[in-house]
């Protein structure tokens, strides 16, 4: 039996007649008769006995009723589930982020998104780039927010935001104008590691200028660079998001030679994204631009 046969069969059982079944299904009476006749021809036996007082289910039809009732309940459950999915209910979105995005970007973005999608659960993991990529490939994450760099061929990289790194100075440092790379090197520049996504940009710019910072310390975590500037260990170069986190404790200044970076979302190339995921992406994008505007205000104050 086809689903349409089952639908008509159940409607006639519920209503007792072809005309009432037609009204229930909002179709014409001949349409119901045609589907019923086709079902009986396909099956090779009658489902109903036609009587003056109405339709009576045959013995064969009664044997089918428990299975058909069970199937109809399952179809109703599927309909309810698809409606829940359409509204985003009962879903789980698994998100990863580079450490620099955890506090300033992801935390407020998730608060905003949860206000819009209260029925959707979310898991957040902060890790280094290589770990996040592996977790996506192993289907442990739906997507991740990272700094731009080359990704595996099975991953899709979606650019979200572009900007330049900024300099961090002690809060009461007398300098107010943009700083050069030479000036940073002369004032104990705390270095990012060369293999780091932003570190590559900084190291390449220093090589182009033939500059060698006096400080030999190489740091992987951007917030540690900020903490060391705060402790009086020198000056630093970080992304906007780390800089904004320390805006009340340190001085933020533009760098005369742009040190560009890109923020991107990575996900599996072969998997479509849910409506909930797309909405969360837009919230994250809005948060990135909000932070950029906050940094502009800090530059003006400086």
User: What does the pLDDT read at residue 263?
Assistant: 92
pLDDT digits (tens, 9 = 90+) for 181-235: 999 999 999 988 888 889 999 999 999 999 988 766 788 889 999 999 999 999 9
Average pLDDT across the chain, whole number: 87
Range 163-260 classified under CATH 3.40.630.10: no
Q: What string of DSSP letters covers the chain?
A: --HHHHHHHHHHHHHSSHHHHHHHHTS-HHHHHHHHHHHHHHHTS-SEEEETTEEEE-HHHHHHHHHHHHHHHHHHHHHHHHHHHHHTTT-EEEEEE-GGGIIIIIHHHHHHHHHH-TT-EEEEEE--HHHHHHHHHTTS-SEEEEE-----TTEEEEEEEEEE-EEEEETT-S--S-B-HHHHHHT-EEEEPTTSHHHHHHHHHHHHTT---S---EES-HHHHHHHHHTTS-EEEE-HHHHHHTTTTEEEE-BSS--EEEEEEEEETTS---HHHHHHHHHHHHHHHHHHHHHHHHHHH-
Right CATH for 92-161+262-291 from 1.10.3720.10, 3.40.50.10800, 3.20.20.100, 3.40.190.10 = 3.40.190.10
Q: Residue 90: which pLDDT band, with cuts at 50, 70 and 90?
A: low
- Residue ranges covered by each domain of the chain: 3-86, 92-161+262-291, 163-260
Domains 92-161+262-291 and 163-260 share a fold: yes
Q: Residue 41: which pLDDT band, with cuts at 50, 70 and 90?
A: very high
**CB burial of residue 252 (10 Å; 0-12, 13-18, 19+):** buried
pLDDT higher than threshold 70 for residue 298: no
pLDDT higher than threshold 70 for residue 301: no
Range 3-86 classified under CATH 3.30.365.10: no
The terminus-to-terminus CA distance of the chain in angstroms comes to: 76
Claim: this prediction has a pTM higher than 0.85: no
User: What does the pLDDT read at residue 299?
Assistant: 63
pLDDT higher than threshold 60 for residue 84: no
122 against 274, higher pLDDT: 122
Q: What percent of the chain has pLDDT over 70?
A: 93
Q: Residue 87: which pLDDT band, with cuts at 50, 70 and 90?
A: low
Q: What percent of the chain has pLDDT over 90?
A: 41
Q: Residue 236: which pLDDT band, with cuts at 50, 70 and 90?
A: very high
Q: Are 147 and 195 in contact (CB under 8 A)?
A: no
pLDDT higher than threshold 60 for residue 252: yes
Q: Are 244 and 100 in contact (CB under 8 A)?
A: no
pLDDT higher than threshold 80 for residue 77: no
The token duo for 187 is 């004032």
The answer to which of 4-13, 15-24, 168-177, 209-218 has the lowest mean pLDDT is 209-218
């Amino acid at each position: 039996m086809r689903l349409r046969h089952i639908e008509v069969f159940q409607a006639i059982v519920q209503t007792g007649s072809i005309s009432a079944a037609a009204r229930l299904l909002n179709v014409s009476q001949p349409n119901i008769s045609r589907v019923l006749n086709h079902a009986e021809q396909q099956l090779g036996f009658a489902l109903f006995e036609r009587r003056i007082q109405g339709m009576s289910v045959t013995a064969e039809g009664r044997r089918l009723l428990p299975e058909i009732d069970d199937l109809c309940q399952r179809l109703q459950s599927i309909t309810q589930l698809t409606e829940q999915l359409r509204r985003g209910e009962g879903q789980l979105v698994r998100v990863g982020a580079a450490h620099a995005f955890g506090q300033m970007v992801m935390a407020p973005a998730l608060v905003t998104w949860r206000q819009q999608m209260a029925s959707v659960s979310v898991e957040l993991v902060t890790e280094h780039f290589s770990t996040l990529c592996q977790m996506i490939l192993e289907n442990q994450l739906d997507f991740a927010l990272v700094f731009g760099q080359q990704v595996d061929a099975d991953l899709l990289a979606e650019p979200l935001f572009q900007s330049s790194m900024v300099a961090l100075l002690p809060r009461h440092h007398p300098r107010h104008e943009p700083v050069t790379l030479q000036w940073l090197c002369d004032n104990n520049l705390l270095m990012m590691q060369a293999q780091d996504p932003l570190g590559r940009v900084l190291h390449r710019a220093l090589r182009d200028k033939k500059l060698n910072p006096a400080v030999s310390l190489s740091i992987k975590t951007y917030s540690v660079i900020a903490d060391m500037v705060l402790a009086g260990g020198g000056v630093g170069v970080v992304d906007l998001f780390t800089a904004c986190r320390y805006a009340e404790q340190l001085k933020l200044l533009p760098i005369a030679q742009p040190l560009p970076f890109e923020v991107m979302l990575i996900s599996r190339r072969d998997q479509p994204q849910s409506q909930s995921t797309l909405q969360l992406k837009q919230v994250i994008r809005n948060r990135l631009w909000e932070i950029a505007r906050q940094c502009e205000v800090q530059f003006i104050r400086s």
